[in-house]
Amino acid sequence: MFNVANILLVAAIDIAGLAVAFPVGIGIALAWGVITTYIAKPAGDPVILFAGVACVAVAILINAAAYKRLPSAGQKTTAKGLIISVVAGVLMGFFYRFVAAAIANIKEIEAPAEAGKLTPYTALVFFALGLFLSNFVLNTIVMKKPFVGDPVPLGDYFKKGNPRLHLIGIVGGIIWSVGMSFSILAGDTAGYAISYGLGQGATMVAAAWGVFIWKEFKAAPAGTDKLLALMFVCFIVGLSLIVYANVATAGAAAS
């Protein structure tokens, strides 16, 4: 499920750009993932938590509005990029609850795991195996039927991909895996819904790269910068509320 979502997200980035596809796709994944994970394993103040999710949802709508202001080769391309981003976000919002459901509740490392469930470390191994094995099927299909461009032969991986490009991909995978590991390990203490929501703070980083580094909105009409600023504010407020949801619950329990 995560692999399908990730491949769709990469395709959406290629079509719509990093500053659009990532905030829309991962923003939806954040909102939907927090909701589904909270239902499976509730933790944190629900009012504050879902208020944060609502702020993120507003940020997604603002980002989509800013994207529509960009000069486009055609409405079909604009719609295609947004639709793929939305589908990727919905799928990615589902995967984390299944990972969380497989993990035993372990408050202390010495405590025995629940019968029939995994430790966080074992869950990470199985998750990585699922990604690795499914990729041979899913990536091959997308290479033969790409969303944009011509089909890509399997041999191009070795003919056109030089060691530097392969290394960049491997390093990217390592960085993501370390982040996923921290998210799962923090979930037992902070709550998996909160841990997942904060992990999607990557949306802010990706949007900043798209706007400030890759200049994806440089051709946008006047006033678009105000929409983008409002989007960043909504994301920051939303993530802050998600953090506070756990703080508020911990404070109430202590009192």
Token readout for 190 is 């902070």
Distances (CA, A) of 218 to 67, 215, 232, 246, 247: 12, 5, 17, 38, 39
CB neighbours of residue 182 within 10 Å: 13
Task: Measure the CA–CA gap between 102 and 121, rounded to whole angstroms.
Answer: 11
Give the domain range for residue 205. Answer: 2-254
Most confident of 16-20, 130-134, 222-226: 130-134
How many domains are contained in the chain? Answer: 1
Residue among 55, 16, 5, 21 at smallest CA distance from 241: 55
What's the rounded Cα separation, in Å, for the pair 35 and 44?
Answer: 12
How high does pLDDT run on average in the chain?
Answer: 83
- At 54, the amino acid letter reads A
* Contact (Cβ atoms closer than 8 angstroms) between residue 120 and residue 185: yes
13 pLDDT above the threshold of 80: yes
Interhelix angle for 46-68 vs 75-102, to 10°? 160
> Where does the pLDDT of residue 255 fall: very low under 50, low under 70, confident under 90, or very high at 90 and above?
low
pLDDT of residue 253: 57
Q: Indicate whether 231 pLDDT > 50.
A: yes
Number of neighbouring beta carbons within 10 Å of residue 31: 25
| Interval 109-128: pLDDT, tens | 455 556 778 888 899 999 99
Token pair belonging to 94: 């589902």
Facing residues of 103 across strands? 118
**pLDDT reported for residue 184:** 86
Model pLDDT, residue 198:
75
First to last CA, the chain: 41
pLDDT, average across residues 1-7: 93
Among the listed residues 127, 96, 123, the one whose alpha carbon sits nearest the alpha carbon of residue 30:
96
What percent of the chain has pLDDT above 70?
89
